């Protein structure tokens, strides 16, 4: 399945729709944001994950899928070098609360923080996957 023709517009629209959303496990967290971007740029979800509603459930899912966030993502996406990550790809960034997923926009990435989307520089990425 390839990206839809207007995926850059859909990516921008998704980012704008998520600005200011409060963080909520399983609804508006880093994984939920990546899944929303996935559905936007492919026209439908091409990455499937079990649902969860709490931090504890998310951590249990991560544990079952590889033990840590990066290993869990390795189970569903192809890892690439951070330097190869391009617009629309997924990266992991370090945060004070541990690693979190974000989406490459260019020189910055977009990912969920406690108060909504945050935009750290791509240099903050510690791992990357092709979306």
DSSP string, 69-111: HHHHHHTTSEEE-GGG--TT-EEEE--TTS-EEEEE-SSBEEE
For the chain, domains (ranges, CATH) are: 7-130 (3.90.1720.10)
- 60 three-class SS: helix
Global pTM value: 0.93
State residue 90's pLDDT score.
98
pLDDT at 127 > cutoff 80: yes
d(CA 109, CA 90): 9
Task: State the distance between the two ends of the chain, measured CA to CA, in whole angstroms.
Answer: 11
> Which pLDDT tens digit goes with each residue over 33-82?
999 999 999 999 888 877 889 889 988 988 888 788 899 999 899 999 99
- Alpha-carbon distances of 115 from 12, 25, 47, 106, rounded to whole Å: 19, 13, 25, 22
| Token output for 116 | 């909504």
- Please give the average per-residue pLDDT across 71-94, as a whole number: 95
For residue 59, the number of C-alpha atoms closer than 13 Å in the C-beta half-sphere is 6
Instruction: Please check whether residue 130 is in contact with residue 89, taking contact to mean a CB–CB distance below 8 angstroms.
Output: yes
| Lowest mean pLDDT segment, chosen from 6-10, 44-48, 100-104, 123-127 | 44-48
More confident residue, 49 or 90: 90
pLDDT exceeding 70 applies to what percent of the chain?
Answer: 100
């Amino acid at each position: 399945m390839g990206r839809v023709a207007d995926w850059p517009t859909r990516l921008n629209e998704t980012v704008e729709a998520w600005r200011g959303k409060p963080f909520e496990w399983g609804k508006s967290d880093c994984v939920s944001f990546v899944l929303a971007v996935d559905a936007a740029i492919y026209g439908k979800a091409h990455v499937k994950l079990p649902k969860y509603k709490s931090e504890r459930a998310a951590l249990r899912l991560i544990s079952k899928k590889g033990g840590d966030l990066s290993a869990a993502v390795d189970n569903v996406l192809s890892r690439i070098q951070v330097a190869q990550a391009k617009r629309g790809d997924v990266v992991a960034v370090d945060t004070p609360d541990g690693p979190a997923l974000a989406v490459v926009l260019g020189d910055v990435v977009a990912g969920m923080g406690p108060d909504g989307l945050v935009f750290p520089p791509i240099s903050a990425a510690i791992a990357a996957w092709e979306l």
